[in-house]
Structure 1
Amino acid sequence: MPNMNKVDTPVKKSVNSSLLHVEYNLSDVMKKLKSMNSSQDIQNKVLNEKLINYEAKLSNLNSSLEGMIKSLNMLWEENKALKIDINLLREKISLLESTNSPIFNPISSEEIITEAQNRVLKQKNVIFYNIIETPNETLESSCKIVSDLIKDISLDLKVNSVKRLGKPHYNRIRPILVECDSIANVSKLLKNKSKLRAIKKWKKVYVNADLTYNQRIHVRNLKDELNRKRLAGEANLIIKFVKGVPTICPKN
């Protein structure tokens, strides 16, 4: 008769051994998964760093392109103004030549080129007059004065340089030459200069464009012509800058 109490121990050991083997395999799989995850994390970190680097390079490239576009626009403005000035000079020469005046002194090409170059050098400049000069005034304090004035007339302009003209004198206020960053900002300053009269601090200050000698003569002649017209009854006239050229125009 078979012994019913007999235990089949080899079978139990075999099952335990299989389970242990499975646990070892799972442990190896988990280790490999962790290793793969760690490797993937490193790769992701490297990719992210490369992406950040590419984004920084792209941002720098965009900034450079914006700077180039701004420079090209400013160059276009300068060339446009130069073309206007040259055409104006040619018209003056043609007018003088057509009068056959015995006192006519022909203008050489070199003089025209020199005048045009001087106008280009000055076209971003304005000159402020009657700004009180403080004792021991420095370049920094001059810049601060100009900055305050510009803010007081509600403008936001970039200024390249500021300097007093001439040597200090005890009974004379030296004008201030201001170089703006663009011709457009010069126009803004000149268009808003009338606001100075409404501000007590700047009431006696006035501002003009930085003109060449020939331009100053032209403006003086225009003023004489304007006075003659007003005496003749044409009271509704003023001098305006039309495309950079001073011209007698109706007020409205």
Structure 2
Amino acid sequence: MDASYSVMINELQDRQSRDKNVIFFNVPESNNDADDISAVNDVLSKIGASVATSQIVRLGKTGPKPRPIKIICNAKSDVGLILKSKNKLRNIPGLNNVHITADWTSSQRSFYNCLRGQLSTRKNNGETNLYIGYVKGVPTILQKN
């Protein structure tokens, strides 16, 4: 098998294994797993996303900043509901610094960061009304009408 096919298959398998996951950032850390579960459920209820989760895990080593929390949902549709509702966090006092993202692979993260760089360059060159939107699930630079 060609190496590029192997890389592509590994990427697809990695994406498939992550498609039921979301990552929460800046959720205050505690020493008790029950507190993490309670905090996640509190965030979910406040954004109006009543979804069932199968696992909640802190990622990485303990440090000065709160570690991200990976939430594994029971269904892929639950992830979509959470991601559609995440912007409500901006208006909730005490939770406006919490961020929610999909669990992306490293290649997806690097593609998005490259796209953000292109967006910044285009805005610095005078183009206006640009933003990153999703076309059929793929992040793309779009222009507001």
| Shared fold per TM-score greater than 0.5 | yes
Distance in 2, matches of 1:231 and 1:212, equals 29
The question of 1:111 aligning with 2:7 is answered: yes
Picking from 97, 115, 125, the partner of 1:232 is 125
- Aligned-pair CA distance for 1:241: 2.8
The structure 1 segments of at least 4 consecutive aligned residues displaced by more than 4 Å after TM superposition are none
Distance in 2, matches of 1:115 and 1:240, equals 22
Structure in which a larger fraction of residues adopt strand: 2
1:165 maps to 59
Deviations 1:182-222 (A, max 9, x none): 22221221222111111112111111111111111100110
Deviations 1:26-79 (A, max 9, x none): xxxxxxxxxxxxxxxxxxxxxxxxxxxxxxxxxxxxxxxxxxxxxxxxxxxxxx
Matching residue's letter, 2:32 = E
Distance in 1, matches of 2:45 and 2:59, equals 23
Picking from 146, 156, 159, the partner of 2:40 is 146
Normalization by structure 2: what TM-score? 0.90
- Aligned-pair CA distance for 1:107: 5.7
Q: Percent identity?
A: 38
2:75 maps to 182
Distance in 2, matches of 1:183 and 1:242, equals 18
1:137 maps to 32
Spell out the pairing of 1:7-86 with structure 2 (5 A cutoff): none
**What value does the CA root-mean-square deviation take over the aligned residues?**
1.7
Q: Gaps spanning 5+ residues in structure 1: where?
A: 1-105
Picking from 5, 20, 26, the partner of 1:124 is 20
Q: How many residues align?
A: 144
Deviations 1:214-240 (A, max 9, x none): 111100110011111212222212112
The question of 1:206 aligning with 2:103 is answered: no
Q: Gaps spanning 5+ residues in structure 2: where?
A: none
1:30 maps to none
Structure in which a larger fraction of residues adopt helix: 1
Q: For CA contacts below 8 A with separation 6 or more, give which structure has more relative contact order.
A: 2
